[in-house]
Structure 1
Amino acid sequence: MADAYRTFPIRDIEGFSIGNWSDRTAGTGCTVIVAPDGATGAVDVRGGAPASRETDLLKPENTVDTVHAVCLSGGSAFGLEAASGVMRELEHRGIGLPVGPTCVPIVCSSCLFDLAFGDGTVRPGIEAGITATRDALDGTRACPEGTVGAGTGATVGKLRGPACAMKGGLGARALAIGDIHVGAIAAVNACGNVYDPATGSAIAGMRATPDSGEIVDMEEDMLASAANLTMPLDRTNTTISCIITDARLTKAQATKVAQMAADAYAHTIRPTHTTNDGDTIYVLASGMVECDVPLDLMGLAATRALEQAICAGCLTACGICGIPANAELHG
């Protein structure tokens, strides 16, 4: 059984490269997942406030069935500009759908809100997208976690405002089931708290006071203060993720995997999918390996990998811009 189910580095999944651009001073960044030979794409959107690009073409009934990159970015809606940089660099390298005089790279993108921390006037733009794409295609293939890429300015536990929040971050984990490999990259910027589903313990979230390391149960706090509850600034949170696999999937199958993987948010983030979150999950399937496992098992593997990635994003983060991380508060 150990041979059938194991963990391994996400960079070893064939058909994909991952790169980052980070600005720790400003507290923002972007992460690019490139599929140079194309991949079948899908998406699942559960949050009430998404900032995204090219998600409609991923619907199974639409005709474009090849995606060349997913860009996860900070900068709120301004960060969508980074995807244009990804497109420019991929076109320069001849990666995209042939259309006669050139090629058109299909780049999907989602953004999270990090403008309230660091320097909100700095957002990932065209040059950031170009740099992250070059890092993906020309870099060492390492996949750093924590305060990097789209997770640079990510925070969690914001019901009581920035003073009691904690640092989120970028996480990446991968599992193998037989010959199939499934990985997850997540930028964790949730309104809610983050919990380890294996132990039930809180990893990061809303602290009791600005000087405390104690994480308060946000859901219970919301219920207790229901009569006077005020939510934080609208549409300022989001956990954005990408599942990658070397399995051969149709768009409909990839869509089902994305839908199943959304359970990872419910297992690790409380509350989740709020009106103030733009929670989005992409799936990219390179098709290099014939899928020899049931689709339900694929979805379960994607869910487990995403759970681990969400937890890793918070556990590996370091505090910046005055926002402490688990590493500083709990060692």
Structure 2
Amino acid sequence: MKPGALNLITDIAGLRVGNAQDQALKSGVTVMTADSPFTASVHVMGGAPGTRETDLLAADKTVSQVDALVLSGGSAFGLDACSGVTEVLRKAGRGFQVGEVVVPIVPGAILFDLVNGGNKEWARNPYAALGGAAFAAADTVFDLGSAGAGTGALSANLKGGLGSASLVLPSGATVGALVAANPMGSVTTPGETHFWAAPFELNAEFGGLGPDPRAGLGLDLSSRKSALFGPKGGERANTTIAIVATDAALSKAQCKRMAVAAHDGIGRAVVPAHSPGDGDLVFSVSTGARDLPNPQGELALIGHAAALCLSRAIARATYLARPAEGDLLPCWIDIRQGDAKSELP
């Protein structure tokens, strides 16, 4: 396996991703769409999810395909981003046909970024407009780090962000991940230099520093973010929300298995993960462009690749985050540059 040409989820032909953000708000929206509907499912493992239309993605539910998926900041307010996308799709005549009516299907998930130094005193909920703008910006190339739904994301000790990665399988199928990383846990080991996902890094995509050489890691759960919120205020102010996708032809039930497997990627890149205060969720998508030569074996490999891509995408989200006025937490690049200066003779 090797990364695709862009090392983005849009290495899967037909998929496009758009971002929109408000720097004063310190929040934003990311939308993934395609020229035609795609099969999708979802698996939730966090204890505090915020979602729209995810029940519809179960294998036994009526609608088998969706028109777009939305990742948004803003906690419950951010669910309105789906309305902005739905309105644009409605005007374009896209959606699920019910008699003479067309209803766009736009599931979404949100993360909590309401306490991150941004101005949240809006007169009107801004997320519908951000959702529409993100959909309009959808393309094969898009920004990572402090962009879209990752604009105001915070991990335990560093700014989080938006990340993506891809892999091309020996069969020729492509797998990719897109994530807005805002976890309760840390993305880096104590000291903030090494990433938990380092064993899965390819081509120095998040710094190439390798795994932390120390043993006994995972016992220190100190968190700058928790300190900002006080003893109990930050228990539900978290979430890692992601999309994994493939061009392999998968059923809704098979997409569900891919989503389940992909959660391993969160567990390998964030410590701790899937906490009661996280809303950890993974959407899974199949464009159906490539038939599976060996359905059972290929599905297992696709799930494995999705987990690898998601781990790498989470690390890339933090690695590419950049400082902005009013930030409450440092970026990885700030810590790394400080370490490099201290190492000078």
The offset of 1:218, in angstroms, is 6.7
1:19 aligned onto 2:18: yes
Determine the structure 1 residue equivalent to 2:335. 329
CA deviations over 1:4-37 (Å, ceiling 9, x no partner): 5443323231121100111122100000001331
Q: Structure 2: which amino acid aligns with 1:192? A: G
2:292 paired residue number: 291
Equivalent residue of 2:137, what SS?
Answer: helix
Q: CA RMSD of the aligned region, Å?
A: 2.0
Deviations 1:231-253 (A, max 9, x none): 54231100000012111101110
Q: State the match for 2:165 in structure 1.
A: 173
Q: Does 1:316 align with 2:325?
A: no
Q: Secondary structure at the match of 1:266?
A: helix
Residue pair 1:91, 1:102 contacting (<8 A) in 2 also: no
Change (3 A) 1:112 1:51: same
Letter of the 2:196 partner, please give it. D
Q: Mind listing any 5+ residue stretches in structure 2 that lack a counterpart?
A: 188-194, 207-216, 223-229, 338-345
For 1:146 and 1:45, locate their aligned partners in 2 and report how far apart those are by CA, in whole Å.
Answer: 23
Whole-Å Cα distance in 2 between the matches of residues 200 and 193 of structure 1?
Answer: 17
Matched residues in 1 for 2:185 and 2:200: separation?
15
| Equivalent residues of 2:248, 2:289 under 8 A apart | yes
Per-residue CA deviations over 1:215-234 (Å, capped at 9, x if unaligned) read xx774347xxxxxx945423
Query: C-alpha distance in 1, partners of 2:31/2:235?
Result: 27
Q: What is the letter of the counterpart of residue 276 of structure 1? A: G
Q: Is the Cα contact below 8 Å between 1:29 and 1:124 reproduced in 2?
A: no
Q: Are the equivalent residues in 2 in contact too, given 1:39–1:285 (CA < 8 A)?
A: yes
Aligned length: 298
> Using a 3 Å threshold, how does the CA distance of structure 1 residues 187 and 238 change in structure 2: closer, same or farther?
same
| Distance (Å, rounded) in 2 between the aligned partners of 1:244 and 1:199 | 22
Q: In 2, are the aligned partners of 1:219 and 1:271 still within 8 Å (CA)? A: no
Give the structure 1 partner of residue 257 of structure 2. Answer: 256
Look up the match of 1:99: 98
Alignment partners' CA distance in 1, 2:269 and 2:128 = 33
Question: What amino acid is the match of 2:174?
Answer: H
SS in 1 for 2:220: helix
Map of 2:342 onto structure 1: none
Q: Aligned runs of 1:73-152 on 2, under 5 Å?
A: 73-117=72-116, 118-122=118-122, 124-136=126-138, 139=139, 141-152=140-151
Paired AA for residue 178 in structure 2: I
Identify, as 1 or 2, the structure richer in strand. Answer: 1
Does the 8 A contact of 2:150 with 2:181 survive in 1?
yes
Runs of at least 4 residues off by over 6 Å: none
After superposition, the Cα gap between the structure-2 partners of 1:231 and 1:199, relative to the gap in structure 1 and judged at 3 Å, is farther
Deviation, 1:200, is 9.6
Note the residue ranges of structure 1 that are not aligned, 5 or more in a row.
158-164, 204-216, 223-228
The letter of the residue matching 2:275 is T
- C-alpha separation in 1, matches of 2:40 and 2:287: 9
Q: Is the 8 A contact 2:29 2:127 kept in 1?
A: no
Over the matched positions of the two proteins, sequence identity in percent amounts to 37
Counterpart-to-counterpart distance in 1, 2:121 and 2:254: 40
Deviation per residue, 1:123-148 (Å, 9 max, x gap): 64211111111111xx5x31210000
Relative to structure 2, which stretch is displaced further, 316-325 or 147-156? 316-325
The amino acid that maps onto 2:84 is: G
- What TM-score results when the alignment is normalised by the length of structure 1? 0.85
